[in-house]
Amino acid sequence: MMDLSNWRMALASIVGIGMPHSYHSLASKPLCIGALMLTVVATMQTVAGMQSGRSALARSGVKWLYTGLPIPLNGYGWHDMFIELALNVEVANALNEAIGNTRTQLSIKGAQFAVNGKPTFLLGMSYYGALGAPLEFVTSDLDALQAMGFNWIRVWATWSAFDNDVSAVDTQGNPREPYLSRLKRLIAEADKRGMIVDVTVTRGSNLPTFQAHLRAMQTLARELMNYRNAYFDLGNERNIRDARYVSFDELKKLRDAVKAIDPNRLVTASQAGDIHRDELERYLRLARVDFIAPHRPRNPQSPHQTEARTKQYLQWMKRIGRVVPVHYQEPFRRDFGRFQPSADDFITDLRGAITGGAAGWCFHNGSIRRPGYKGDGRPRRSFDMRPSEGPLMMQLDDVEREALANISASVGVKAKARGNRIQLKPIQGTMRIRITVPAFPNQIFHLTVPESAGHIGGLVLNFPGQHPQWSGPDACGAYTYALENNQVRYTVRVMAFTDHIDVIERLFNRTGTEWRHAFTFPCFNTGGAPAFRDVEFDRTFIPLKEGLISVKNVRRTISSRPLLQFYELASKRYRHHRFIDGFHATCKTPVVDSYILTVAKEGRGVVGVATRDAAFLFNNGEYSCIHACPDFGTIAPNEARVALTRIYFMSGNIDDFVRRVHADFTKW
């Protein structure tokens, strides 16, 4: 509950009454508070929500009904004041939007962070270029991070790398779409998982002047007001004397600008290298950041110095008279400079941070940037997560995977329980995985991946003669393998969650020929699941223009194998496709979306396969299998593309499945 001072601030914020001015008359300053506002005011936790509420009400353009109610205002006692109660649903909806549905709220308790009021160590991951990734890559990474016990990510609102600008603000500091909306969606997805988001801004080519920088922070403060699971880094490595430099005086102005709009938004400004005693005092007393974020030196000695350095910061702060969290937001990483850290170095640094009393630590990662290196930066990791690169979890190297595998066990970070997750059991020497689902007991499913891979000109990989060796599970429960021949280098990563499996595949073109509409043929088999086995085709559905239609009711092309059928998308009818044409079993009616599903007997559950952009759909009654085969697009020689296929196991109905697929694969 709010105390009366916050009550007064909230009311004043919404209606635009300046403090400490008194309320004069209804005619001069009418109070505009929407439906249910009396309850809302008593429960709102931040003035930020109030200010946003006022904006939402102003946009609604509704008519008002007046009623009298006494309210305490500005310390002048009780006044008979009129409150306008909106009798319009839009206002109530606007207020709900203004308040936000944030589940995860970040705050500070002494030298520690708190999530929903509980002191929490922030264990994070660099995720810089997330706004350039497909949404399904992002949600897959977030699920994987959550499974390992990670609870925050660092994304940049001014990120431009490898000729790909995904900044959420433009060079003048104004909103830049679609990336600002993507930033909001990213923060919302993190919120669903109880995760915090670091929103970092940097001075430089993206924000070349202080005025642009100031406007950018004001834009972000306004636009992200409803999201309480985020904090701002006002200036990445602001002490470096190049285009990034932000003086302490400027830093104070940036901080004040944010706080004027959103008083409860936590802010910091990161520093390259350790912070000296006099600098620390200026961060705390002049700039008044909410916590410090030193980027410790990147050398072999650094991991062993973190504990002592942390304790020193905390001792200095006590002497200064203001203690705030120490947050290691960007430590050393692989493939940067001469220091190439081992898995033990990461663990040592993290342990030192925790033992020393730090509030957070980040598993930093990025593209290759070593002395004398002249390559393309691959693996670029979080610096580039477009389809040509893949999700972050797909790009980490073996040392990073080893470090992640040991983090939870080494430092006691609680990973998400796997007891209710779908269970995977790879069959060594084959492309197959056996799948059991707690929600569907006594049902056994199988996945064969990729079974085949190719492009419209033919296959480059086929299952006969392939005997891959699966590795895993890794730190987040994923299994992987790789195959290579003189045409293709293929990698797959399969990870299970509570109600779906993510299949992430990478194709690298080793030929001298461009591949058009490259595809894989992952086979999801329900033959060992009696409740879902469908050899009659009456419970397997595909999306046609008319709606979802059972395969049994679709005009099929009957071939020498009458139980199988290909379904091309209306958006890409192939004149010639060597793989499809060879079966002589392509349906005459095209599908309009990239998923296929099967309903259980008596309607008790749905399983289905979906991808963002299918090359085609397929089903085969001989094995009771369904396929949504991902289209990797065009792959040039010596280039790669990554695609994600998601297999769902849902206890709901068909409508639930379709809504979920559309939400998961929306173009954000």
pLDDT in tens, 345-359: 999 999 999 999 999
In angstroms, the CA 328 to CA 306 distance is 9
User: What is the structure's pLDDT at 416?
Assistant: 62
Closest CA to 366 of 387, 350, 344, 389: 389
In angstroms, the CA 289 to CA 323 distance is 11
The 230-233 sheet, strands edge to edge: 267-268, 230-233, 196-200, 152-156, 122-126, 360-363, 327-328
Q: How large is the average pLDDT for residues 417-444?
A: 93
Domains in the chain: boundaries: 4-99, 116-411, 423-664
What is the chain's length? 668
User: What is the structure's pLDDT at 74?
Assistant: 37
In angstroms, the CA 515 to CA 517 distance is 7
- For 447-482, what is each residue's pLDDT tens digit? 999 999 999 999 999 998 899 999 999 988 999 999
- Could you tell me which CATH number the domain at 423-664 has? 2.70.98
**Letter for the amino acid at 638?**
N
**Letter for the amino acid at 454?**
G
Tokens for 368, please give them: 């290759």
User: What is the structure's pLDDT at 419?
Assistant: 63
In angstroms, the CA 374 to CA 343 distance is 25
User: What is the structure's pLDDT at 94?
Assistant: 41
Q: How large is the average pLDDT for residues 247-272?
A: 98
User: What is the structure's pLDDT at 573?
Assistant: 87
Q: How large is the average pLDDT for residues 484-509?
A: 97
Per-residue pLDDT band for 414 (boundaries 50, 70, 90) equals low
In angstroms, the CA 630 to CA 612 distance is 7
User: What is the structure's pLDDT at 668?
Assistant: 84
Which of the four CATH numbers 3.40.47.10, 3.20.20.80, 3.40.50.300, 3.50.50.60 does domain 116-411 have?
A: 3.20.20.80
The reported pTM is 0.86
